[in-house]
Structure 1
Amino acid sequence: MLKSFTYGAAARAINASALTLFVSFAAVGAARAETLELVALGDSLTQGYGLPQGEGLVPTLQAWLDDQGADVEIVNAGVSGDTTAGGLSRVAWSLTEETDAMIVALGGNDLLRGISPDTVRANLDGILSEAEARDLPVLLVGLIAPPNYGPDYKRDFEAIYTDLSQEYDTLLYPEFFANLRDDEGNASPDRISAYMQPDGIHPNADGVDRIVEDMGPVVLELLEKAGG
């Protein structure tokens, strides 16, 4: 009897330990499953060109979201020099079954090359169509065109982002550099000196901080739409 009782007690103890371990693993698995994956599809502005590791847009935004308590992992899908055509060519394999949402921040290199707004619109339309097919919420980040291409180009280019955002029901951050401008909306020489790298195209670390400070709350809205 004693031997039988001891064995039974031991078996119950082992079963209890196994159950506790199973519950622990299940809890860890559930916690991991709640972490959202956010793909940031973009160019050098997303990739972090010219900045030390950890000071680019993606790691700075990741740290900001962590501080807000958001359970998300951002995938840096920024490629320096990429146009909207490049983004379209790689969007399908940049997204996976684990992807929960996407930021699209493309068009700067199209501007630098003077690519037709019709072409830019078609490329971005293809990217958003891919996201729609996967039922992914999107934050579309726009840009303001410089005046040197003429008023028609400027009007047509800037309309791309508002039009497509409405068509695909995305969130919209109208202009990547919005928070680097002064109160009148101008990129004054002093602001450029303070927040941009010497090339005048890419933000420095202080500029990235300001961009994330302003864009971050919109990214939180995106995560809410993704189920976070």
Structure 2
Amino acid sequence: MQEIVDVLRELPHVDSPAAASAETVAADVARGHRALIRRRRNRIAGSSLVVAAVAAMVVGVTQFGPAGSRPTAAGESGTTTQQAPRIQLVAFTGTQPAGFRVDTVPADWQVISSNRNEFVVVPPGADSSSALPMVVGSQGAEAEGSSVSYDGRIAVTLQGMSRLPSETPVTKVSVNGRDGLLGHAKGGVIWLIFSDAAGKKVLVQVPTSVGLTTDQVVSFAQGITVTSDAHSVGG
């Protein structure tokens, strides 16, 4: 009611010494109601415009970021985490090893040992020295006859006396239609043991840090052929 009184006070009045008639009062009240309705509509419309403007600002900041910023393109540094591309297997074009012929190797990896005992490749930029024999047996036996370390490297040998630790979960896989066992040895290394067409047991060692998937490890193993010159590490 107070709003109507305020509106009536703001309406222009015609000075008249005579008392207002009932019709005049009714007309004034009607005008006051209409003015009040207009005021409320204008207030609501103004509030809606403010809300819409704020929403538009929020959307703009969310999509485009603060002033002067722009989306980070692939390969550029920024706050968005970019996943590293998965390593790819490519055709091996080097001199084939005497003991183990291979079809594929990880892209840009370097062969550091290829003889009748082993086939070993290292990632780009890794130390390619041929020292430090690797402990390959699950019981801690050293790899006698090996001249390189398998640490951080992919290696192919005959299984010999090496066994998967009894406590490791083992996954059965198929390598060229023959059964294989895939598990983890000590030191964060994936082991894949399988038989070739002649019944020789082959051991593939791949560090988990390389990033090959299980399917890629199996694919790599499917491209391995054991020659008649292959010897087990240690004789």
Q: Which has the higher helix share?
A: 1
TM-score with structure 1 setting the length: 0.29
Higher strand share: 2
Pick the structure with greater CA Rg. 2
